[in-house]
Amino acid sequence: MTSFLIGLFLATLITALFTMRLYRLILWYSLNSLSLALLAITIGFHIGDNSMIVSGFFTLLLKAIFIPYILKRISLRFSLSRQIEPNIPVYYSIMLIPALLVFTFYLAEPITNMLSSNANYVAISISSLFLSLLLMIEHKNIAPKIIGFLSIENSLFLLGTIATNGMPMLIELGIFFDLLMAIVVINLLFKQEEEVKE
Amino acid sequence: MILYIAMILLMILLSPLVLSFIKMLKMFLLYKKPISIFQGYRDFSKLLSKEIIISKETSQITHIAPYLVLSPLLLTLFFLPPVSSGEYYVSFVDAFTITGLISLSTFFLMLLGLDSASSFGGLGSSREAFISALVEPAMILTLFSVSMMANNLGVGQAGLNLSKHFPYEHMASFIFAGISFFILLVAENGRIPVDNPETHLELTMVHEAMILDLSGFYLALIESASSIKFMIFASLFASLFLPFGLDLPVVLAIGVFILKIFFIAFLVAILEVNTAKLRLFKVPNLLGIAIVFSFLSLITFYVLGA
Q: For B30-53, what is each residue's pLDDT tens digit?
A: 999 999 999 999 999 999 999 998
Contact B299 A101 (CB under 8 A): yes
Most confident of A47-51, A86-90, A182-186, B254-258: B254-258
Q: Is the Cβ pair B293, A124 closer than 8 Å?
A: no
The closest alpha carbon to B136, from B81, B98, B79, B91, belongs to: B98
Q: Do B303 and A102 touch (CB under 8 A)?
A: yes
Q: Is the pLDDT of residue A169 over 80?
A: no
Hey, which residues 18-77 in chain A have their CB within 8 Å of chain B?
18
Least confident of A25-39, A73-87, B290-304: A73-87
Give the model confidence (pLDDT) of A70-92 as tens digits: 888 888 888 778 888 888 888 88
Phi, psi of A21 (to 5 degrees): -120, 140
Q: Do A14 and B305 touch (CB under 8 A)?
A: no
Confidence of residue B75 (pLDDT cuts 50, 70, 90): very high
pLDDT in tens, B213-234: 888 899 999 999 999 999 999 9
CB pairs under 8 A between A and B: 70
End-to-end alpha-carbon separation of chain A, Å?
50
What is chain B's mean pLDDT, rounded? 90
Range of the domain at A35: 2-197
Question: Cβ of B292 under 8 Å from any chain A Cβ?
Answer: yes
Give the closest-approach CA distance of B304 to chain A in angstroms.
Answer: 5
Q: Are B77 and B5 in contact (CB under 8 A)?
A: no
Taking an 8 Å cut-off on Cβ atoms, the answer to whether A7 and B173 are in contact is yes
pLDDT band at A119 (very low <50, low <70, confident <90, very high): confident
Does pLDDT of A195 surpass 80? no
Q: Is A93 on the interface with B (CB under 8 A)?
A: yes
Q: Do A3 and B285 touch (CB under 8 A)?
A: no
Mean pLDDT of B237-243: 92
CA atoms of B15 and B226, how far apart (whole Å): 9
Q: Are A183 and A68 in contact (CB under 8 A)?
A: no
CA distances to A121, B53, B127, B289, B302 from B170, in Å: 11, 54, 36, 20, 10
Query: What pLDDT is stored for residue A59 in this prediction?
Result: 86
* Distance between CA atoms of residues A38 and A63, nearest Å: 12
Q: Which residue has the higher pLDDT, A74 or A9?
A: A9
Q: A103, B296 in Cβ contact below 8 A?
A: no
Cα distances (angstroms) measured from residue B248 to each of A89, A112, B245, B256, B257: 49, 41, 6, 9, 11
Domain that holds residue B44: 2-304
Number of structural domains found in chain B? 1
Q: Inter-chain contact A18–B289, Cβ cutoff 8 Å?
A: yes
Mean pLDDT of A123-149: 88
- pLDDT for B140: 93
Supply the DSSP string of B118-171, one letter for each residue: -HHHHHHHHHHHHHHHHHHHHHHHHHHHHHHHTT-SSHHHHHHHHHHS--GGGH
CA distance B252 to B244: 12
Q: Within 13 A of A174's CA, how many CA atoms are on the CB side?
A: 5
How many domains in chain A?
1
Predicted ipTM beyond 0.90: no
Q: Can you give the pLDDT at residue A198?
A: 66
| Residues in chain A within 8 Å Cβ distance of B289 | 14-15, 18
